[in-house]
């Protein structure tokens, strides 16, 4: 996979893409130039976002499973891999986990195994610690 570096500014309805670069260095140079202009575009609040391009077909869809501590499936849905959330637990304390597959049964099996590991480690509800241990296997 390749990535692009997108320079953005603003937030909410004022959010916009200013430029897209093939290198982080190009994006940084652009934000430096913008920051030192007499009339900045967005008062210097520029962000560089990194996005994957040409994602292989096997990574196009992710099945996301929401599961309670006892292993009951609360909900399951397909995600387009754009990253649904930043934590492994929702506001109700249930585990939310994505598996790169469109097979619901396989995803449930994988999430159930992860659930068991999290419980065994005593980390239920501790999103930061779980992300540190499991890394990219978390829903982004």
Give yes or no: residues 42 and 81 share one domain.
no
Residues spanned by the domain of 48: 2-53
Give yes or no: residues 49 and 9 share one domain.
yes
Residue 45 pLDDT: 78
Mean pLDDT, 10 residues at a time, the chain of 140 residues: 88 83 96 80 78 76 91 90 63 89 89 93 90 62
Residue 1 pLDDT: 64
Distance in angstroms (rounded) separating the CA atoms of residues 7 and 50: 9
Considering its fold, how many domains does the chain have in total?
2
Distance in angstroms (rounded) separating the CA atoms of residues 104 and 107: 5
pTM over 0.75: no
Give yes or no: residues 132 and 63 share one domain.
yes
Give yes or no: residues 18 and 67 share one domain.
no
């Amino acid at each position: 996979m390749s990535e692009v570096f997108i320079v953005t500014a603003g937030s909410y309805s004022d959010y916009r893409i200013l430029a897209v670069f093939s290198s982080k260095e190009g994006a940084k140079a652009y934000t430096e130039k913008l920051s030192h202009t007499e009339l900045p575009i967005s008062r210097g609040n520029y962000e560089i976002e990194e996005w994957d391009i040409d994602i292989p077909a096997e990574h196009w869809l992710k099945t996301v499973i929401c599961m309670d501590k006892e292993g009951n499936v609360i909900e399951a849905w397909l995600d387009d891999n754009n990253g649904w959330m930043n934590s492994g637990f929702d506001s109700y304390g249930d585990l939310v986990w994505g598996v790169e597959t469109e097979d619901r049964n396989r995803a449930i099996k994988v999430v159930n195994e992860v659930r068991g590991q999290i419980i065994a480690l005593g980390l239920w509800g501790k999103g930061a610690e779980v992300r540190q241990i499991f890394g990219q296997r978390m829903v982004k």
